[in-house]
Amino acid sequence: MLAANTVEEMCQPNTTTAPDGSLTGGLGLRLVRHEGRVWIGHTGAFPGTRSGCFTHRDSGTTGVVLMNQTAATSPGIFAASLGSYVLEHDPPLPPVWRPAAPRS
């Protein structure tokens, strides 16, 4: 839906919101540094709910968190933690099957 160069621009940090530099903002995306990886995504909230969806671009792994409480842990860090767990404990997916080229 977006050109690759637009996504790349959105993933470049332009503000730092955490004293240790672990949380930064891009153009509409939040960047979270967690366990040596950078995760991009966004959080959301409404009274009584919180959510976070963050992706590790190099692996394509995404962590999604939906919470039905307001006073919970940071959904961004939690989503990145779930994704990190998958990267460290689940085997990589096999290559996508593609049909052979038609014979002539």
Q: What is the chain's mean pLDDT, rounded?
A: 84
Distance between CA atoms of 71 and 55, rounded to whole angstroms?
Answer: 24
DSSP code string of 43-86 = EEEETTEEEEEEEETTTTEEEEEEES-SS-S-HHHHHHHHHHHH
Written as one letter, the residue type at 16 is T
Residue 72 within a domain: yes
Q: How many domains does the chain have?
A: 1
Q: What is the pLDDT of residue 21?
A: 59
Residue 104 within a domain: no
Residue 94 within a domain: no
Sequence-distant (≥ 6) Cβ neighbours of residue 61 within 8 angstroms: 55, 83, 86, 87
Residue 102 within a domain: no
Q: What is the pLDDT of residue 23?
A: 64
Per-residue pLDDT tens over the stretch 27-85 = 678 888 888 898 999 988 888 888 999 999 999 999 999 998 867 678 888 999 999 99
- With 90 as the cut, is the pLDDT of residue 22 above it? no
Q: What is the pLDDT of residue 20?
A: 65
Q: For residue 20, give its domain range.
A: 4-87
Q: What is the pLDDT of residue 15?
A: 67
Residue 37 within a domain: yes
Residue 98 within a domain: no
Residue 103 within a domain: no
